Amino acid sequence: MTNNVSEETLNKAKLNLETAQMPWSELERFFAGGTLLSVSAELDIVEVAHCMSIDDKAAIVGWLNDKKLGQISDDQAKSWCESNAELWTVIVRPWILVQDK
């Protein structure tokens, strides 16, 4: 029996297993280091992580231009700090993607 699972499917499954919820207090130092990127709730964080891992520039630039992916503002960070937010995270080195759902 042959297993015809694509590399894309395997990569997405791996990334999905690596997602976790983390409190903002554990992410603040990465925000300070500039390595956190916010993913819009409209997007699938695993799909974004996959596109970043395969360097899909077209998708990434589109999300950046549409403001669906980007740096976290100081105001957003303050809000998450005050509410002790729990965010979905996944690491795609050197970035940590976060999503508030």
Q: Please write the tens of the pLDDT for every residue from 18-63.
A: 999 999 999 999 999 999 999 999 999 999 999 999 999 999 999 9
Q: At what angle do helices 57-65 and 45-53 cross, to 10 degrees?
A: 130
Is residue 20 classed as helix, strand or coil in its secondary structure? strand
Q: Which tokens sit at 55?
A: 């360097």
- When pLDDT is cut at 50, 70 and 90, the band that residue 1 belongs to is very low
- When pLDDT is cut at 50, 70 and 90, the band that residue 5 belongs to is confident
pLDDT at 4: 78
Percent of the chain with pLDDT over 90: 94
> Domain boundaries in the chain?
8-99
Are 94 and 35 within 8 A, CB to CB? yes
CA nearest neighbour of 93 among 41, 42, 33: 33
Task: Give CA–CA dist 31/70, Å, rounded.
Answer: 12
pTM summary value: 0.91
